Amino acid sequence: MGSPIELTDDNFQHEVVDSDVPVLVDFWASWCGPCRMVAPIVEELAQEYEGRVKVAKLDVDTAQKTAGEFGIRSIPTLLIFKDGKVADQVVGAVPKKHLEEKLEAALG
């Protein structure tokens, strides 16, 4: 079963920017309540979109360089990358359906 990839400053380029499929990146932190609300949705999306979309999580406390490069100011922030660039973004806890629509648009 698919599960989110744990991102770091070191593997971000390889896993996200160089990916040949769209990537959903969940910028989160362990102390963030809304992040914990979104986490099960991100897990489900990783399974449901396995093979079509890469799903990953980046802890902003341990990967501050990457979080800073993308101007992450509030979490959770979910960025959808396509062809190595940010194609869409969602800030805050949102319903699963909202994320599914964004992913389908990135795949379309």
Catalytic site residue from 35, 45, 55, 72? 35
28 is catalytic: no
Contact partners, residue 90, CB within 8 Å, separation at least 6: 77, 78, 98, 99, 102
Q: Choosing from 7, 23, 32, 42, which is the catalytic residue?
A: 32
32 is catalytic: yes
- ω into 76 cis (within 30 of 0): yes
**Which helix (H) or strand (E) is 58 found in, with range?**
strand 54-59
- The residues pairing with 54 across neighbouring beta strands, listed in sequence order, are 23
Look at residues 47, 52, 56 and name the one whose alpha carbon lies nearest to residue 16.
56
Residues assigned a catalytic role: 32, 35
